[in-house]
Amino acid sequence: VVAISTEDPPVMTLRSHPHVRHARASTRHATSADGNSRLTGSLAIVLFVLLAIEGVTIVRIGPLLNVHVFVGTVLIAPVVYKIASTGWRVLKYYIGDPDYRRKGPPVLLLRLLGPLVVLLTVALLGSGIGLVVLPRTWRAPLLTVHQASFVLWFAVTSVHVLGHLGEMIRVGALD
């Protein structure tokens, strides 16, 4: 907060806003599990936006195919990071790291769906990459895999996103 005095000449001073001071104090005690949650939540928001754009391209895939391919390619990096950050959380939880044990596991349904979300995501992105880089002779089978994996992926990922929506908004908003 900037404060300007009524002295002659005016003097400008900087003061911490009370909320800023509180935020700084609370981050001093942040754990690696908190950092992992923030990273995962931020990635989830990025993925949510990119996937929404990708969803729009599906409605008119013909004229938007180039945009679909571009956004699909952009999705690869945040998807890899999200799989890595959630994989790290799972690893740290199951090897008994106290910070991650204190945070606890996701609800059972989401733990069971997690590997399926990863498998279908890899199938979807992998078949999409294959459609772009492999010879045309692979087009028909890869397109079938791409479309089928999308239908399954959409169903499973919808449950996954709804299950984590509150956490994604709460944790992602910190950044």
Mean pLDDT of the chain: 86
Please give the average per-residue pLDDT across 10-30, as a whole number. Answer: 48
pLDDT band at 169 (very low <50, low <70, confident <90, very high): confident
Q: Which residue has the tokens 């995501």?
A: 121
Tens digit of each residue's pLDDT (9 = 90 or more) over 65-122:
999 999 999 999 999 999 999 999 999 999 999 999 999 888 899 999 999 999 999 9
More confident residue, 131 or 4: 131
Structure tokens at 115: 């590997």
**What DSSP element (H or E) covers 2?**
strand 2-4
CB atoms within 10 A of CB 166: 9
Please give the average per-residue pLDDT across 46-63, as a whole number. Answer: 96
pLDDT band at 18 (very low <50, low <70, confident <90, very high): very low
Distances (CA, A) of 75 to 50, 80, 112: 7, 9, 24
Least confident of 1-10, 39-48, 67-76, 123-132: 1-10
Please give the average per-residue pLDDT across 62-67, as a whole number. Answer: 96
Tens digit of each residue's pLDDT (9 = 90 or more) over 29-45:
678 999 998 899 889 88
pLDDT at residue 106, rounded to an integer: 84
